[in-house]
Amino acid sequence: MKYNLLGQTGPEGQTNPDAPEGGPYIYEEAPGLKNGVPSPDAENKGLNAKGTPVDEQQHKDKVESAGVEDTTTSSEDTTEDTTQETQDTKQYSSSYTVEQIMDYQTILKGRGFYDGPIDGIIGPATRAAAQAMIDSDAPQDIDATRGDEGKALAQALDAITQTSGLVYGSDLNSGQEQQQQQTTQDTTMYWGRYNSGSWFTSTLDGIEDDGTWKWGWELPEYAGLGQDAFTSDKDLNDILKSTTDGSSDGVKDTTTTTTTEVSKGFQGTQIWEVDGKQYVVFTVPDTEPALYIRYEATDTLLDLYYSSGRERPDVKNISKDSDELINSSMFGSLAEVDEDILTGAKEPFQGLVDKWDIAKEYRPWLEDTELYNIWLEAFIEDRDILDEEWKTTEWWRTHTKEERDWLLLSQGKELDKLPADAQAYLDNNRIKVRDMFKAAGVTNIESIVNSNGESFLDWFAFNFTSGKWTETATLDQVKAISDPTTGIELDDSVNEWLDGKAQGVDVATTKKYEAQVENLANEWLGPLYGVLTDDQKATYAGMIRNSETEAVGVGMVIDKLKAMRGTLFGDYNENLTYNEIATPWRNYSFQLLGQRMDETSSTFVDVIKANDQKTATQLLTEWGINNNSATLLDKVTDEIGKVTGAGQVVRGIST
């Protein structure tokens, strides 16, 4: 399957008849993606707001090399159609105004599905973006379009996908085209900064004012500078150099002032120079040999980072083949680091070491170096991890679907910060595992805790939820805990957890020793009479549990089974088990019949009860003839031949 310019998939070389403007299916990836992540170098550049290929020549070359027909519209055709279009021939939405369409475009742009202008016109790019959000399996998109509160948005996006051509807002039909032009004419992109310290660009109306960011001109260190100083055509490094120290006239204040003491923390940073590029380098705590993370930094960023009182080290030249560089991970630009770290208000690894053991226990994938680096980078930059970051790792390719699903659903968060849908999934599985234990006879599963106060039920449910154990494996472990005599081996991690449980809080189970009782019954009574009812198993298992020792209890059960065996097979010594009684007759029947008999059959039971070879021979011969036993029939025909003087019967074809 290949992609077209709208991001739809289909058989290679064919075209969607309902959306011919998307062209043939000839691309390996969806619009804007390269190797699964957004990239300006993507081969499939999609359609622009006018419904024509973003890079017409590149698309034309691709179509020609594929040897298929192109159904996209060229910019020349669009220009001609637009020029000839009049107010009377325009298509207007019956449901949405220009402002409403712009709102939907803004939502789509904010979620990364739309990169066209916020113009209030529904075109192919807006339709493709709406469909992409509807089809998205990202938890935040599912919440926004499939939850109870997302019905209105879902209906609006669905209505957008049902349109064709260019659709204008309904208020333009009332002569308000000039107002729409005024509303949409400012498409300038400006620099802003998130509270975490990361910079971004957006139009004035392209980002929701949720209190997590500010425009550059709103920041105190740039007081006195206007919007024009922060247009996206300005280089970020130049903007970082233009701080005014909060003076309202825009002139940097050089007056000597007394500054508040801030943390000089993490003096162990290094500055490396590798092939002409400079990096600030952090040593990861408690790693041996030392592991490093590095951020590329300009002189301006270095000045900012070391302006908080940190001692600035000398630059260290590092070669490409050095062990230090090999043991380091590149995390991007220093500008992406949390602002509190840059200003010295917070240590780079504050809280990391203290929480590390707990973090690894409930996020076992942190043991993987590649995933650990992704998590550590996001930790320092105080941001969420993108799904695409996980999907490019070797861990992703080598782990189960259940493990991968939980990683995405949980977004790599700590247990007390899980997204709502991940928390609900974990809660449901906790109930499911609790019911497994109760069905297996464990009566106090919710009361078992370890010396750290951790619940056994919570720990068990997490192993199931995170995909470490399948449902079948989880059930096996439940059975092994509820009755150790099953012979099912406990997972090492279960044994380790139970070794650390609080003293005096043991697993209370009503089914312990039931498996041992089943084995004893089979040993003494055989496969036919040794099948006990649930009540019988519970009674005998209770005798063992309630005895002063296990050995005493087992002896009591054996005495009961001995009495039953004496009733069934009374001609034998009372201390012989069924297996000891049956073994000679198993061997005899095999010699006579050439095959093993079903020991639950009435014939074999009668042979054992008779305890007489003549009677056994008669019973087994009759059974063998009725069941066409080849070995027995051969013996019978040979005997007949001897009696009649014909000699031994020759079988098969003589040569």
Q: Can you give the pLDDT at residue 176?
A: 45
Distances (CA, A) of 27 to 47, 55, 174, 617: 13, 14, 42, 79
Q: Can you give the pLDDT at residue 86?
A: 42
- Bridge pairing between strands 91-92 and 167-168: parallel
pLDDT reading at 180 higher than 70:
no
Provide mean pLDDT across the span 166-170. Answer: 75
- Kindly calculate the radius of gyration of the chain based on its CA atoms and give it in whole angstroms: 39
Q: Tokens representing 459?
A: 């720990």
Distances (CA, A) of 305 to 235, 254, 269, 314, 559: 19, 19, 11, 14, 82
Provide mean pLDDT across the span 474-489. Answer: 87
* pLDDT-derived band at 177, boundaries 50, 70, 90: very low
pTM: 0.38
Provide mean pLDDT across the span 200-204. Answer: 76
Q: What is the mean pLDDT of the chain?
A: 78
Q: Can you give the pLDDT at residue 607?
A: 93
pLDDT reading at 13 higher than 80:
yes
CB-based contact 212:201 (threshold 8 Å): no
Q: Can you give the pLDDT at residue 256?
A: 37
* pLDDT-derived band at 293, boundaries 50, 70, 90: confident
pLDDT reading at 359 higher than 60:
no
pLDDT reading at 601 higher than 80:
yes
CA dist., res. 496 & res. 492, Å (int)? 6
CA dist., res. 396 & res. 284, Å (int)? 24
Q: Can you give the pLDDT at residue 197?
A: 62
Question: How many residues are recorded in the chain?
Answer: 655
Of 346-350, 546-550, 604-608, minimum mean pLDDT range: 346-350
What values do phi and psi take at 291, rounded to 5? -110, 145
* pLDDT-derived band at 654, boundaries 50, 70, 90: very low
Of 50-54, 96-100, 406-410, 467-471, minimum mean pLDDT range: 50-54
* pLDDT-derived band at 474, boundaries 50, 70, 90: very high
Q: Can you give the pLDDT at residue 258?
A: 36
Q: Can you give the pLDDT at residue 77?
A: 54
396 contact partners, CB below 8 Å, separation of at least 6: 390, 404
- 564-591, pLDDT tens digit by residue? 998 899 889 989 999 999 999 999 989 8
| Closest-CA residue to 527 (of 598, 456, 607) | 598
pLDDT above 70 coverage of the chain, percent? 76
pLDDT reading at 265 higher than 80:
no
CA dist., res. 338 & res. 346, Å (int)? 9
Q: Can you give the pLDDT at residue 80?
A: 38
CA dist., res. 391 & res. 399, Å (int)? 11
Query: What does 332-396 look like in DSSP terms, one character per residue?
Result: EEGGGS-HHHHTTSS-TTTTHHHHHHHHHHH-GGGGSHHHHHHHHHHHHHT-PPPHHHHHTSHHH
| Closest-CA residue to 243 (of 269, 204, 207, 217) | 217
- Higher-scoring residue by pLDDT: 37, 491: 491
C-alpha neighbours within 13 Å on the C-beta side of residue 424: 4
Q: Can you give the pLDDT at residue 257?
A: 37
CB-based contact 294:328 (threshold 8 Å): yes
Vertex 356 angle, CA 468 and 343, to 5° = 135
Look up tokens 């940190």; give the residue: 310
CA dist., res. 129 & res. 114, Å (int)? 5
- 442-452, pLDDT tens digit by residue? 888 888 888 77
Q: What is the DSSP letter of 478?
A: H
- 15-54, pLDDT tens digit by residue? 888 778 888 989 888 776 777 655 667 788 877 646 778 7
pLDDT reading at 380 higher than 70:
no
CA dist., res. 345 & res. 528, Å (int)? 77
Q: How many CB atoms lie within 10 A of CB 532?
A: 19
- Bridge pairing between strands 270-274 and 315-317: parallel
- 146-156, pLDDT tens digit by residue? 766 566 777 78
CB-based contact 246:209 (threshold 8 Å): no
